[in-house]
Structure 1
Amino acid sequence: MPDPDPSGPQRPLERVGVSNSQYTQHSQFETYEAYGPYAPYQPPGYGGYDLHDAQTLGYGVPGAYEDTYRPAYEAAETPETPLPRQAGSAAGEDAPAPAARAGAGTGRRRRAARRRKARYIELPDGSMRRLLPQALVVAFLAGGTTAFVAKDKAIELNVDGKPRTLHTFADDVTELLSQENVDVGAHDVIAPAPGTSIRSGDEVVVQYGRPVRLTIDGHRREVWTTAHTVQEALEEMGVRAQGAYLSAARSRAIGRAGLSLDVRTERSVTVMADGHARTVRTNAATVHEVVEEAGISLRGEDTTSVPADSFPRDGQTVTVLRVTGTKEIREEEIPFKTQRTEDPSLFKGTEVVDRAGQPGLRRITYSLRIVNGVRQKPRLAGTEVVREPQPQVVKVGTKSLPTSVRGADHLNWKGLAACESGGRAHAVDPSGTYGGLYQLEARTWQSLGGSGRPQDASAEEQTLRAKKLYVRRGSSPWPHCGARLHG
């Protein structure tokens, strides 16, 4: 069989179980890398023969060379055939002729390659023990590389609309976000959900929540949205924005800090005025604006059936009230108060008016209105004090009354009182001249040391004054009932 063409594809010698570096470092073998995969085996001391110039004999030519190859397991039994020069040197013979060497060149190269392969497989026991741990390390590293590649995942991470592709060893969404330092809050949206396992090729989306302080038709509330613009937020919240008033442009971006948004949707409001009804479509903020949009003017005291500054509701009817009227002024008294002061010169139970009280005067203004031709109940428009009231001053006696009057204590004073006044201390006759238990005249009362009127004094003082009167004049002051004193 001819030698392979050096210019054609060549396959390196097969090495079983040992790496290149181990092969080249082993002291028992020839250096493989120094000659290349198909270089001839040329040990030192060949005496200057150029093996490449030797004649190559065809395979199978009788007598060309002897095949000395032996399997590795026969190496111990059959000694290796020495090389020509080695054999000659050992036997003392001359080196063979150049022609013989040329015929045997190709065979020697093949046999040398086979011997190297056999020796490479059947290493001595000591060398195999040295190479085995290194082979295990290589196998372990090969298995670890496979596991390393298997754990690596290509993931597309989209954070708030900004996508990027990355490689990660994370097992689930939570671990991935932690590795990428993506902080999420309670109002943020994560898909898939945190804790979900991930595989290569998956997409993880994080949408940040944004607070929106939303006022819709006067109702205020705070909502969270993942939308990036006002228009997207309105669509997400289902707000009917057609024909509505917006405090911010629809294209305005919503930042992480959020924004305040006032929305007034379009409503239908009916305005009743001067006997006519007008229905308008509006997004006005107040009833007053709706009335103006309906082309109705308010004059003087004109007003509306609902507060003019209130928010108009859809389907609401607002009535304009035409108001005319006048004012009415009335005067009322302000009652005075009574002040009492103690007077030691008066007997206990006696009160005397020292200064009469005077009522004050208050001026009250009422509004008389006619609404849409109907007179309304007067309404209080204001009050004004014209004169302050003056208090009444009353003296109250504190002097102790005597217990008796000589010559009159044994008489029946209860019987006299019952006959004169029915036993009532504050009784006054129909003419107003006499008063008290014993119906004494005011002038007589004062002559007895009393003050004021007898009916204003206590019962004890009245009895005391009556006893004094009896000592002076007997029972004559009571011509009809005086006999009761002795009964």
Structure 2
Amino acid sequence: MAFASYETQEAALVLSRPPVPAPTPVPVTVPAGGRAEARRAARRRKAGRGRGPEGLRRLLPQAMVVVVLAGGTSAFVANDKAVRLSVDGAPRSLHTFADDVRELLDDEGITVGDHDIVAPAPGAALASGDVIVVRYGRPVTLTLDGHRRRVWTTARTVDGALRQLGVRAEGAYLSVSRSMEITRKGLTLDVRTERTLTFMADGRERVIRTNAATVREALAEAGITLGAQDTTSVPPDSFPRDGQTITVMRITGTKEIREEPIPYTTERTRDPDLFAGIQVVERQGRQGVRRVTYALRTVNGVKQKPRRIAEEIVREPVTQKIRVGSKPLPSSVAGADGLDWNALAQCESGGRPGAVDSSGTYGGLYQFDPGTWRALGGKGVAQNAPAAEQTYRAKKLYVQRGASPWPHCGRRLYR
């Protein structure tokens, strides 16, 4: 469109001007140099005529073409940026038309993940002279002083990873060399930092710096030997912590054998021929005997509680067997039901079924002697029988002998 415009203007100028008279012929003198020199002179004259107004009009469209082309070239050059890209420590210079860092990385086929570092940020605009750094994350399975965890680092060596993770490596034990390269697949690293331990042994305090994996190893470094029964206040194979105080326990021990009783059990069987509340021991129980071995020890000179370590049965216990009456007791005895048996019991024993006199001969609510009690059908002694049974047998005795068995309190039956 720019060219057509200039051509139209040029045509208008030509039509508006009056005709130009033909130039007067000028004699041409051939220079001394011959025809070649003459041709050069003619070209110079022709060029001189082209610099007049008419020549300028003819050069104007060509000049506009040059200007347009120059403008496009300037825009092309302005969009081209010279940047420096470093990927995992490998730098290179390049030219790019990308507008921001993300576009540059896409153009270069570089993919980054959540654990990778890109600086400037992917959304940052690009300008010529910028430096873009990409550092890939590497997984490290780190066991630090006994604690295992998975971490990420952009360092390419173990030494760099330790510095990046803030792990104090001076005096530490490392499972791999500090100069070992970490690939993008990662590695497994065991680190035991140097720690301060205090040992209390044989009345002395010993402080050491160690990167030992166990208390036992630290003991050896401290020059402390454990005897066959000796131990420490923490398990010898446990991991020693920084600042930990560990006591060495010197142990001496002996054994002691003791015989201990084994209680017998009691087996009760219901007997329908015995009145309820009556119990008859059919077989007496007997305790067994157990032989027990105890470990006796002293820790740093102090006796400890005996510890049972073995036992054997010397004699088995014998089960006691008892027959328990289940036959209902009669509550009525002809000729004795209307009497005041409660008053008699209060007088004889204070109303206590288990009462026994001072001589140990008479017992129960009504103070039966053993012979009379058994003659009335009772078992054992009266004071061991239920109150209802005692009253029943007292009524039977009254039917046989009246109130005479109770010379001092018998009159209370008749109130």
TM bucket, shorter chain: 0.7 to 0.9
Residues 132-171 of structure 1 aligned to structure 2 (within 5 Å): 143-171=71-99
Moved more, 287-296 or 361-370: 361-370
Structure 1 contact 72–122 (Cα < 8 Å) conserved: no
Residues 113-262 of structure 1 aligned to structure 2 (within 5 Å): 118=54, 121=57, 143-262=71-190
Structure 2 contact 298–304 (Cα < 8 Å) conserved: no
Deviations 1:88-131 (A, max 9, x none): xxxxxxxxxxx9xx99x969x949x86999599479xxxxxxx9
1:407 aligns with 2:335: yes
Structure 1 unmatched ranges of 5 or more: 1-16, 24-70, 85-98, 124-130
The verdict on how the C-alpha distance between 1:437 and 1:243 changes in structure 2, with shifts beyond 3 A counting, is same
The structure 1 residue matched to 2:377, chosen from 417, 439, 449, is 449
Larger CA Rg, structure 1 vs 2: 1
Q: Secondary structure at the match of 1:296?
A: coil
The verdict on how the C-alpha distance between 1:363 and 1:181 changes in structure 2, with shifts beyond 3 A counting, is farther
Measure, in 1, the Cα distance between the counterparts of 2:55 and 2:195. 100
Q: Secondary structure at the match of 1:174?
A: helix
> How far does residue 354 in structure 1 lie from its aligned partner after superposition?
4.2
Aligned to 1:384: 311
Aligned to 1:78: 19
Structure 1 contact 366–378 (Cα < 8 Å) conserved: no
Aligned to 2:32: none
Q: Secondary structure at the match of 1:261?
A: strand
TM-score after normalising by structure 1 = 0.67
Deviations 1:255-284 (A, max 9, x none): 334333222233454545445555544322
The verdict on how the C-alpha distance between 1:80 and 1:402 changes in structure 2, with shifts beyond 3 A counting, is farther
Amino acid at match of 1:332: E
Measure, in 1, the Cα distance between the counterparts of 2:223 and 2:17. 125
Measure, in 1, the Cα distance between the counterparts of 2:160 and 2:414. 113
Measure, in 2, the Cα distance between the counterparts of 1:350 and 1:207. 96
1:464 aligns with 2:392: yes
Measure, in 1, the Cα distance between the counterparts of 2:257 and 2:123. 81
Aligned length: 395
> How far does residue 365 in structure 1 lie from its aligned partner after superposition?
3.6
> How far does residue 246 in structure 1 lie from its aligned partner after superposition?
1.0
Question: Over the residues paired in the alignment, what is the CA RMSD in angstroms?
Answer: 4.2
Structure 1 contact 353–392 (Cα < 8 Å) conserved: yes
Structure 2 contact 295–309 (Cα < 8 Å) conserved: no
Measure, in 2, the Cα distance between the counterparts of 1:235 and 1:156. 27
Measure, in 1, the Cα distance between the counterparts of 2:213 and 2:51. 104
Amino acid at match of 1:410: G
Deviations 1:270-304 (A, max 9, x none): 54544555554432222222222333332231223
The verdict on how the C-alpha distance between 1:76 and 1:284 changes in structure 2, with shifts beyond 3 A counting, is closer
Deviations 1:15-60 (A, max 9, x none): xx759xxx9xxxxxxxxxxxxxxxxxxxxxxxxxxxxxxxxxxxxx
Deviations 1:357-383 (A, max 9, x none): 4334444443332344x2413332335
Structure 1 contact 413–463 (Cα < 8 Å) conserved: yes
Measure, in 1, the Cα distance between the counterparts of 2:77 and 2:369. 132
The verdict on how the C-alpha distance between 1:74 and 1:194 changes in structure 2, with shifts beyond 3 A counting, is closer
Amino acid at match of 1:407: G
TM-score after normalising by structure 2 = 0.77
Measure, in 2, the Cα distance between the counterparts of 1:451 and 1:351. 8
Deviations 1:173-225 (A, max 9, x none): 23333444433333322212332222112111121222333333334444332
